[in-house]
Structure 1
Amino acid sequence: MKNLLFVLVLLFSSQAIAGFDLGNKETKKTVTVQLKWQHQFQFAGYYMAKAKGFYKAHGLDVKFKLPEAGVNPIQQVLKGYADFGIGTSELLLEYAKGQPILVLGVIFQHSPLALVSLKRPDIDVITDLAGKKLMIEENSSEIYALLQQSGLHSDDFQYIQHDFSINSLMDGSVDAQTVYTTTEPYAMSRSGIQYQTFSPRMAGIDFYGDNFFTTQNLAHKDPQTVTAFRSATIEGWRYAMQHIDETINHILSHYSTDRSRDALTFEAEAMQKLMRIDLIEPGHMSRYRWKHIASVYQDIGLLKSTPNLDKFIYQEQNIIDNYTTELQYLLAFLIGTLVVLLASAYLTQRFFRLQTQLSTMIDQSPIAVMLLNEQFEIMEWNLQAEKTFGWRASQTINHNIFDFLVIEPHKPRVQQNLLSVLDSQQPIQIENKNYTITGQEITCHWSNAPFHINGEKFIICMAVDVSELRSLKALTMEKAVFVSDNSITNEEFLQRLVNTMQLCLQIWEESTSKSKVQFAEDSGLWRVSLDGSTAKTRTLDKYLSTSSIPQKPRWKQVINTANFILREFPNHPKCQLLNEYKQSIRKPED
C-alpha cells in the first residue's frame, strides 16, 4: 500500500506541475470592487491587499470603483458593473427577495452605522426627529429599524438622498444624517461642532458591518477568482490592521482622500473595536449571527421568514472542481480516499476515546450539563439535567434547545449569548428562564464555554436552578426595601437612579479604563457636548448625584444604561448587583 500511495503521489505531482500550474500568475484577471464610500481607512484591507501584492499573487488585478450619489452599490454588483462589493447587513434582505448574493466575509463584527444630528434645542431624543429632514444612505435598513422601534415610520420624516459628506448637516439643509461612527464624528469634534449620535445598538440592533460579497453566478462560473479574491482580501485586512501607520501612509500617498493623518488614525483605532481582530479572524462570520439578524428583520416586519442561508454564506470551493482532466480528477480522488481512510482511522479512534472520557465527566457532574453543537442541538445531556428539567437524554439528543427549553421572551438574548461564545471563543455567563417538562418556568444561572473536538466547535452549557434563591432574595428585598411599591418617596426613587448610574460608570471604568465621555458615546444614550475644545457630559453628570439629578428624571434612560452595561460586560462581578439596582427602580406615584 505504501508503494502504491508513493506512486500515486508522484504521478499526481508530475501531472499537476505539467498540466495545472497553480503557481503561474503571469496572466492576471482584472476584477472591479465597488466601494460604498469615498477613499478612507474603511477600505484599508483592500488597498493593502493590492499594495503588498496579495491580489497579484493570486492572479488578480483589482480596480476600485467609487460610489455615485443615488447609485446603489449592491445593484452595481448584481447588474454586473462590478465583480465584488461592500454592503451592509441589508444584503440579507436582498437575498431573501431572490437576488443571487453570496457573502464572502464580514469586516465589522459590529456595524458603525448611526444617525447624527447637531446639538439643538428641538432635538434631544430620537423621537424628536419626527417631521425632520433625514439624509440616509443606501442600504441602511438597520437605521430604519432603529427609527421604527422608536415609533418613527417613513411618513414621519422627510427622506433626503445622501451626498457622501457632512456639509448638508453643517449648513442646516438636513436635520440628521447617517454616518459611520469611525469617521464623521472626528471631523465634527475637531471643528468644534456639538453633535449627538443615535446608534442602532442603543435599541439592541447589533448587525454586521461592511460585508464583502459577490454574486452566486460569478462563484459558479469562476470559483477560482472568487476564492482568490476572498483569500487575498482577508490577508490584506490582517496586514492593514497590524501595520496601521504604514497603511495610513499608503492611503495618503496613493488615493485621493479628504481625510487627514489624524482622522485616518482615529478611524483605524475605532475600527479595531468593531473588528476585534485580537479575538476574531478578519472575514469571520457566523450562520447563527445571520439568523439573529434575520430574526430582528422579522420583528420589525422587513422579513417574513428566515431564508435558507446555504447559498448566501460562502463555503470553500472543492479544489477538485478546478482540475481540467479526467486523469487528474481520478488521481485526486484516489489519493483523497486513501488519505481520508488513513486519517479517519486515527481520528475516529481518538474521537471516541475523547468522547467516552467527556461523556463520563458530564454524567458524573453534580450540576446540569449539556453539550451543544454549532446548530445549538444537544449532543450530551447528563443525569442532573434530567433531574433539573425533567426530560430524559433520549428525549433531547439532536433537538435544538430553542425548540423546547428556553422561554420565548428570552430566546433572542440566549441566542446572542451562545453566538458570542462561538464568535469570541470565550466563556460567558447568563441568567434566564427555562421550561421544565411539566411546563413550569424556572430561573437558571448558565455558564457557557467553547469546546473543540477535531476542529469542530461545541458549547458546554452548565446550569444551576436558582429559582428558590431568586424568590428568597426578591422577598427579602421587598421586605427590606419596599414596604410597598406605592410607598416609595421621590427622594428614594432619585437615590436609586443615582446609585444605578454610579455603578454603571464604575463597571465601565473597571472594564475598559476609558473615560466617562467614551462611555456616553459608546452607549449612544447620553449626549456629549463641546465646551471650547473639551468634551463634556453635562446631562450624564447630573444623574451621578442626588443634588443635581432632575426632579422629573428620564428614568427609562437609566434602565437602558444599565442594560447596556449588563449586555457589554456580563461577566463583571458587580453586574449581579447592578441588575438588582435596576430591578429596584420603581417610579413613585404622582
Structure 2
Amino acid sequence: MKFARSCAALVFALTASLALLPTSASAETKLKMTLNWKFEGPQAWFFLAQEKGYFKAEGLDVQIDSGEGSAASIPKVASGAYDVGYGDLGAIIEMASKFPASAPVAVYMMYNVTPYVVAVKANSPYKTLKDFEGHTLGGPGNDAALKLFPVVAKAAGVDSSKVNITNMAPNLREQMLMRDQIDGAFGFMLTVAFSAKAIGIDPDKELRFIKYADSGVDSYSNTLFFSQQIVKNHPEVVQGFLRAVNRAIKEVIANPEPGLDLVMKRDPLLNRNIERERLIATYKLQMSSPEIARIGLGDVDDVRLKRNIDLIVSTSNLTRTPALTEVFDRRFLPPRSERPSKL
C-alpha cells in the first residue's frame, strides 16, 4: 500500500512538472490562477498584466479564474488544481502547520493592513467582539474573517462557543445584516462596505465596523502564492509572474481606468463607479502600511510575520510552528527599487 501511494505521488509530481513545460506550439508556460473572490476592481492589475502581454513577455500563458473566498484559494493550489493563487496568509500559515508537504508558499504580500472586521448596523448595541456572546454572526463559509474568528476571539477574551455562527451566499450577507437575520457580518471591511453600497446601503451612515486589529490582531492578509512544486522547481516562473504583476500594479495606481476597463469586460454587470472606488480604497487603505516605505510593497516584516504565525499557532492549538520561509519566500520579489514605496 505504501509503495502504491509513493508511486501515485511520483506520478502526480511528474505530471505537474510536465504541465509546466512550454509546448512547442506556444513556447509559453501555462499557469492556472485562482483569485480570492468574484471579479472586482481590486483585481485590475492581474487582468492588465494578462491583456497587455506582460505575462506573455515573461513566457507565461496565465488563465485567471474567479474565486470563492480568500481562504478557499489556498486548498485549490495545495491540491494541484491551480498553480498560483491570491488569498489569505492566515490560511497558508494554518496549512503550513498541518500539512507542510503540500502547503503553498506566499511570494508577494498585497494586503499589508489588517482588513478583517465584523460589520454591524450603525444603531446596533454591539461595540466589541465580546458583545456577541449569545448572539449570531454570519458570513460566507470561505470568508477569511470568519475562518480567523476563533483566533481573534481567543485573543480578545471571547468565548467563541457562546457565539452562534451562520453561513450564507456572499450576495446575501449585507441583506441579512440589514434585515436583522444576523447581528453582525464577517468580512473584509472594504468588501462589505462596497457590497453594501452596490445594493443601495450607505456604509458611512448605516454600518459600523468592529475591527480585528483593535483586538490586537495585526495580521497580513491577501497575498500571491504558488505551489511548492513550482517554487522549488521553476523559480523563473515565479519571478516572471511577479515582475509582470508588479509592473501592472504600478500602472493601475498611476491610471486606474484601463484596468477598470478589463474588470468590466469580465463582468459587465458591475457598477464601474463603485469598482473604481473599491479599487482606489483598496490600495490606499489595505496596501499602504507605513512599513512599505522601508521594505517596499510585496515584502513582509519578519518580526511581524513571526507574530502572525505564533498567534495563529497558539490560539488555534496547532502542534507545529512553521518556519518563516515555509510561509513566505521573498527570493522571487522584483528588486526593491522597482517595487512601490507609497500608494
TM-score of the alignment, normalized to the shorter chain, above 0.5? yes
Equivalent runs, 1:187-226 vs 2, <5 Å: 187-188=195-196, 191-192=201-202, 194-226=206-238
- 1:36, 1:73 within 8 Å by CA — same for their partners in 2? yes
1:257 deviates by 6.0
Q: Which moved more, 1:202-211 or 1:185-194?
A: 185-194
Query: Which of these residues, 164, 172, 176, is aligned with residue 170 of structure 2?
Result: 164
Aligned counterpart, 1:181: 189
Given the superposition, is the C-alpha separation of residues 25 and 203 from structure 1 closer, same or farther in structure 2, using an over 3 Å criterion? farther
- 1:110, 1:208 within 8 Å by CA — same for their partners in 2? yes
Equivalent runs, 1:118-267 vs 2, <5 Å: 118-136=121-139, 137-138=141-142, 139-140=144-145, 141-165=147-171, 166-188=174-196, 191-192=201-202, 194-252=206-264, 254-256=265-267, 259-267=270-278
Whole-angstrom CA distance in 2 between matches of 1:290 and 1:76: 23
- Aligned AA for 1:188? A
Whole-angstrom CA distance in 1 between matches of 2:280 and 2:159: 34
Aligned counterpart, 1:511: none
1:30 deviates by 2.1
The runs of at least 4 aligned residues of structure 1 exceeding 6 Å deviation read: 423-426
1:27 deviates by 1.8
Whole-angstrom CA distance in 2 between matches of 1:118 and 1:302: 33
1:153-193 deviations in whole A, cap 9, x for unaligned?
33212222352223332333332222222232145355246
1:314 deviates by 1.9
Whole-angstrom CA distance in 1 between matches of 2:155 and 2:77: 31
Given the superposition, is the C-alpha separation of residues 313 and 183 from structure 1 closer, same or farther in structure 2, using an over 3 Å criterion? closer
Whole-angstrom CA distance in 1 between matches of 2:127 and 2:232: 50
Whole-angstrom CA distance in 1 between matches of 2:252 and 2:243: 14
1:50 deviates by 0.9
Equivalent runs, 1:116-515 vs 2, <5 Å: 116-136=119-139, 137-138=141-142, 139-140=144-145, 141-165=147-171, 166-188=174-196, 191-192=201-202, 194-252=206-264, 254-256=265-267, 259-271=270-282, 272-276=284-288, 279=293, 281-298=296-313, 300-303=315-318, 306-316=321-331
Whole-angstrom CA distance in 2 between matches of 1:70 and 1:261: 23
- 1:182, 1:266 within 8 Å by CA — same for their partners in 2? no
Which runs of 5 or more structure 2 residues have no equivalent in the other structure? 1-23, 333-338
- Name the SS of the counterpart of 1:182 in structure 2: helix
Whole-angstrom CA distance in 1 between matches of 2:245 and 2:82: 16
Q: 2:85 matched to 1:85? A: yes
- Aligned AA for 1:63? Q
- Aligned AA for 2:209? T
1:213 deviates by 0.5
Residues paired across the two proteins, number: 298
1:57 deviates by 0.7
- Aligned AA for 2:94? L
- Aligned AA for 1:150? A
- 1:25, 1:59 within 8 Å by CA — same for their partners in 2? no
Aligned counterpart, 1:468: none
Given the superposition, is the C-alpha separation of residues 257 and 95 from structure 1 closer, same or farther in structure 2, using an over 3 Å criterion? farther
1:214 deviates by 1.3
Aligned counterpart, 1:95: 96
- Name the SS of the counterpart of 1:197 in structure 2: strand
1:77 deviates by 0.8
TM-score when normalising by structure 2: 0.76
Whole-angstrom CA distance in 2 between matches of 1:241 and 1:314: 25
Whole-angstrom CA distance in 2 between matches of 1:40 and 1:304: 37
Which runs of 5 or more structure 1 residues have no equivalent in the other structure? 1-23, 318-422, 427-590
> Quick check: which has more Rg, 1 or 2?
1
- 1:112, 1:181 within 8 Å by CA — same for their partners in 2? yes
User: Percent identity of the aligned residues?
Assistant: 17
1:424 deviates by 11
Whole-angstrom CA distance in 2 between matches of 1:154 and 1:123: 16
Provide the aligned C-alpha RMSD in A.
3.2
